[in-house]
Amino acid sequence: MSREAMEMPPKGGFSFDLCKRNDMLVKKGLKEPSFLKTGTTIVGLIFKDGVILGADTRATEGPIVADKNCEKIHYMAPNIYCCGAGTAADTEAVTDMVSSQLKLHRYHTGRESRVVTALSLLKSHLFSYQGYVSAALVLGGVDVTGPHLHTIYPHGSTDTLPFATMGSGSLAAMAVFESKYREGLTRDEGVKLVSEAICSGIFNDLGSGSNVDICVITKGAKEYLRNHMLPNPRTYISEKGYSFSKKTEVLRTKITPLREMVEVIEGGDAMEE
Amino acid sequence: MSIFEYNGCALVAMVGKNCFAIASDRRLGVQLQTIATDFQKIYKIHEKLFIGLSGLATDAQTLYQRLVFRHKLYELREERDMKPETFASLVSALLYEKRFGPYFCQPVIAGLGDEDKPFICTMDSIGAKELAKDFVVAGTASESLYGACESMFKPDMEPEELFETISQALLSSVDRDCLSGWGGHVYVVTPTEVTERILKGRMD
């Protein structure tokens, strides 16, 4: 291996050493690969006591559903959660990175994180990559200054809103919000409205599907309702399943028993000098 | 043609009752010409952790060498094997580092974690992890594999039944893909033993 490969973990950030080779392959006529996207419907709204975030759970790779039950509501801080749409690797990496930065900041300041801190960290990272880090986020949380809800676009612009939707199913969800949202909703009304908006995305948008995830954040408490609604159960399973009476033809079999881990207990005789 | 279709591959991993199985095809090709029919795509990281790498074969081998390097260092420092969840995060980080000039590889990771609980996951070429509780697929035959596994999979299968199911799913899917096939290579791992089997398939 070359000298650069022997260096122990690089200090973080992106490494561009394969770019030249990849460009050469593309010029030769090979198509670039497609990445895992989260087609998605993600929403957030502010209710009487805090913020409710909602997301669907489908991850697509081109036209194929790669994951029927993925998690799109990412943890940022105990009082801040973020929904992500766009390229799955980018949303996961950017939310993980800012989450660790927030934790270090909490240790440094000794205070609960504020939503605007997360917002500034995210927008400056996304802007510096000029939209190439394709992550569209809905950030929500409750801190000492009250409940906050923001949307962040891949190029780094942000909006602060009482209710927000992002992703390919955003128009379907926004239609529900625009007709039924009002200020001062109770928790149950808010959860019901968010579920309706996500369901609207699930049933009308092809890039969103499967189940509804909800996260309710209030002052001092949060409730992560994973798979709050399962409107698409699998009903066509045959109870017998498949059974293969004719065995698969095997050319060679090799069985390796796994070693038993033996505990060595110290405390034998001390060495005589 | 896509870069992923240059060499051809089919990979699948399934979870059973306290065990897992990971299977691959055996073809190595250069577009439509077959170069080898015994190419290894599933590598052992440690006794209870396997990684299958699909996509461009040269990137798969390079990535495997880097992972072995990092795992050996980890073993020296921590004096124990890496847990599958940790290993998945390591692979994801290595792939995301090359976000704008990626390795053309899709890994499938399968291992037994704490208390021998089976763990499987797959990623796209830039490290987006996809954890699943039933099965994961990758490679040129992935679309057929999705279909075959959706219908053939049952939860909590014993190792023998799991082997039959994963083999049938693999062989039937690669029969519908020109770029993969020429037999199968299946590992079934339980807490006490690892069974490696070579399957007989259509050689076309």
ipTM score of the complex? 0.86
Four-CA torsion B3, A32, A123, A113, nearest 10 degrees: -30
In angstroms, the CA A163 to CA A33 distance is 35
At position A67, the amino acid (one-letter code) is: D
Give the minimum alpha-carbon distance from A24 to chain B in angstroms, rounded to a whole number.
11
- Quick check: B152 and B169 in contact, CB under 8 A? yes
**B-chain residues near A250 (CB < 8 A):** 197-200
End-to-end CA distance of chain B: give it in Å, rounded.
20
> B46 falls in which pLDDT band (50, 70, 90)?
very high
| Per-residue pLDDT reduced to its tens digit, B174-199 | 999 999 989 999 999 999 999 999 99
At residue A1, the pLDDT reads 45
Q: What percent of chain A has pLDDT over 90?
A: 61
At residue B13, the pLDDT reads 97
In this complex, the residue of A70, A244, A250 whose CB is nearest that of residue B168 is: A244
- Measured between CB atoms, does B44 come within 8 Å of chain A? no
The pLDDT of residue A91 is above 80: yes
The pLDDT of residue B56 is above 90: yes
Six-digit token string for B17? 């009752």
The pLDDT of residue A230 is above 80: yes
At residue A168, the pLDDT reads 92
| Per-residue pLDDT reduced to its tens digit, A165-218 | 999 999 999 999 999 999 999 999 999 999 999 999 999 998 898 899 999 999
Strand partners, A252: B198
At residue A165, the pLDDT reads 95
End-to-end CA distance of chain A: give it in Å, rounded.
47
Six-digit token string for A210? 């499967």
pTM > 0.90: no
> A267 falls in which pLDDT band (50, 70, 90)?
low
- Mean per-residue pLDDT, B77-82: 94
Q: What percent of chain B has pLDDT over 70?
A: 100
- Measured between CB atoms, does B194 come within 8 Å of chain A? yes
Provide the mean pLDDT of chain A.
88
In angstroms, the CA A178 to CA A196 distance is 12
